[in-house]
Amino acid sequence: MNAARPTSRARRPELIRSFADLRPERFAPGRPVVTLFSGGLDSSYLLHRLAKAGFGDIHAVSVDLGAGEDLDELRLVAERLSVRLHVIDGRERFAEEYVRPAIAAQAVYLGTHPISSSLSRPLIAELAMDLAVELDAWGVLHTANRSQNTLRRLNGALDLLGYQGHYGTPYDLDPVDRQRKARELAEIGLVHMGKRVASIDANLWCREFESGVLDDPEQHTVPEHLYRWSVRDEAVADEEVEIGFAGGVPISLDGTRLPLRILIDTLNHRAGAHGIGRYSGLEHLPGGQKVLELREMPAAELLLRGYRHLETATLDAETIREKMHLEQLWVREALEGRWFGDLRTACQSFIDSCAARVTGSVRWRLRPGTAETRSIVAAAPRYLRDREDWERESSRADR
């Protein structure tokens, strides 16, 4: 969508923080409201509460980021709650504008796990805002809970984008337990919602699991049926895969050029079949508390590691050291909801200047649970291929 961006910030939008804030009489009668809708328990329950409160023109937005959502299930919920469903294809933009820079930035949170929702939330917020402007909606609602970092990422993106409508999540000050949500939805015929054992956030880069049965870091096991990409296939033999990069961008697999979105999807299944790409980690909340997140990211494991190998082969050590410092600044700004802020943009400029020289290929040997490099080939290498020959030549030059 290419709806006009807001140009003035004269009126301060109202931040929605509770269900008490959601009363139809507080907003212009007849104007629509836009809600973010994943088809999960939280977003379905919000639609139910809005309809129950008397809102009559509800637009549920689902942004397709390549996770393979069940559109029939989304339509079922939307029809049952009498809301209009909008499915927006954001796959190409997500790959090119968000994942590509994240690969160059080596976007890994404190060395534990690659970031994911920090990348998707700015795009989702922007697309939802565009639709809200197009519809002349009074606001954009989402369903992040206080224990989810998505809350500040969506709110932060809408703020930095200059959105003039109301926005926020009623779960901020009014948490609702999963049992109540499932019970009330079952009462209106959506009985399948009670079967959700954890919150799942998915896109073409990552499948992430949290909450529910995964609340406790001291005792957690992801139910195996939740995994899709990283389930080891016993019938798959050890194999090699070669990833080509040009100017810091992954462009090919085994010599075949592919769009980044397709390349990631192919690697997720190909590397995942060897049981590669599972991560766990604790992320901080605004108050400093930590929450557990688990994820599967087979393509990310090879692309991030492969990029670093080529970067090391191409750039001098001091440049890489400074870049590693800026990488964590980049990650922090994305994590804290400041994707559209000046500091991340400034970091990106330095990172992109480094990426321009990262061209070459990395060949991996894939086997159960791991990947090992077999070849690192840089277009403009700094590495030695024959140490003894170099020692002879350099010693002659120094005489």
Sign of the C-alpha dihedral computed for residues 66, 70, 71 and 75 taken in this order = negative
Is residue 149 in a domain?
A: yes
Is residue 96 in a domain?
A: no
Q: Which of 202, 229, 256 is the last residue of a domain?
A: 202
- Supply the pLDDT for residue 12: 65
User: Please, what is the average pLDDT of the chain?
Assistant: 93
Is residue 305 in a domain?
A: yes
Do 341 and 197 share a structural domain? no
Which of 3-7, 182-186, 289-293, 311-315 is least confident? 3-7
For residue 260, the domain's CATH number is 3.90.1260.10
Do 273 and 351 share a structural domain? yes
- Supply the pLDDT for residue 194: 65
Do 220 and 154 share a structural domain? no
- Give the mean model confidence (pLDDT) for residues 309-338: 97
Residue 9, pLDDT > 60, answer no
Residue 14, pLDDT > 70, answer yes
Domain that holds residue 193: 15-89+117-202
CA distance 95 to 265: 11
Instruction: Count the helices and strands in the chain (H runs, E runs).
Output: 12, 17
Is residue 398 in a domain?
A: no
* Residue 94, phi then psi, degrees to nearest 5: -60, -45
Is residue 192 a contact partner of residue 40, using CB atoms and an 8 Å limit? no
- Give the mean model confidence (pLDDT) for residues 344-356: 97
Counting the structural domains of the chain, the total is: 2
Residue 2, pLDDT > 50, answer no
Do 302 and 183 share a structural domain? no
- Give the mean model confidence (pLDDT) for residues 259-266: 98
Beta strands in 218-315 (DSSP E): 239-246, 249-253, 256-257, 278-284, 290-296
Which of 11-20, 191-200, 368-377 is least confident? 191-200
Do 33 and 181 share a structural domain? yes
For residue 185, the domain's CATH number is 3.40.50.620
Do 347 and 249 share a structural domain? yes
- Supply the pLDDT for residue 30: 83
How far is residue 295 from each of residues 159, 254, 309, 385, measured CA to CA in Å?
A: 28, 27, 23, 38
- Supply the pLDDT for residue 68: 80
Q: What is the dihedral of CA 255, 261, 262, 264, to 10 degrees?
A: 70
Is residue 139 in a domain?
A: yes
Tell me the residue length of the chain. Answer: 399
What pLDDT digit, counting tens, does each position of 238-261 carry? 999 999 999 999 999 999 999 999
Residue 71, pLDDT > 80, answer yes
Residue 394, pLDDT > 70, answer yes
Residue 8, pLDDT > 80, answer no
Is residue 265 in a domain?
A: yes
CA distance 181 to 185: 6
* Residue 283, phi then psi, degrees to nearest 5: -115, 150
- Supply the pLDDT for residue 1: 44
- Supply the pLDDT for residue 378: 98
Do 185 and 122 share a structural domain? yes
Is residue 328 in a domain?
A: yes
For the chain, what is the radius of gyration of the CA atoms? 23
CA distance 165 to 296: 36
Do 242 and 221 share a structural domain? yes
Do 295 and 176 share a structural domain? no
The helix (H) or strand (E) run that includes residue 84 is strand 84-89
Residue 4, pLDDT > 50, answer no
Q: Which of 154, 187, 202 is the last residue of a domain?
A: 202
- Supply the pLDDT for residue 10: 41
Do 367 and 330 share a structural domain? yes
Sign of the C-alpha dihedral computed for residues 77, 196, 337 and 48 taken in this order = positive
| Helix/strand/coil for 21 | helix
Do 156 and 193 share a structural domain? yes
Residue 15, pLDDT > 90, answer yes
Minimal CA–CA distance to 54: which of 30, 85, 18?
Answer: 30
Q: For the beta carbon of residue 1, count every other beta carbon within 10 angstroms.
A: 12
What pLDDT digit, counting tens, does each position of 213-239 carry? 899 999 998 899 999 999 999 999 999
pLDDT over 90 percentage in the chain: 83
Do 263 and 177 share a structural domain? no
Is residue 95 in a domain?
A: no
Distance of CA 127 to the CA centre of its chain: 15
Higher pLDDT, 193 or 351: 351
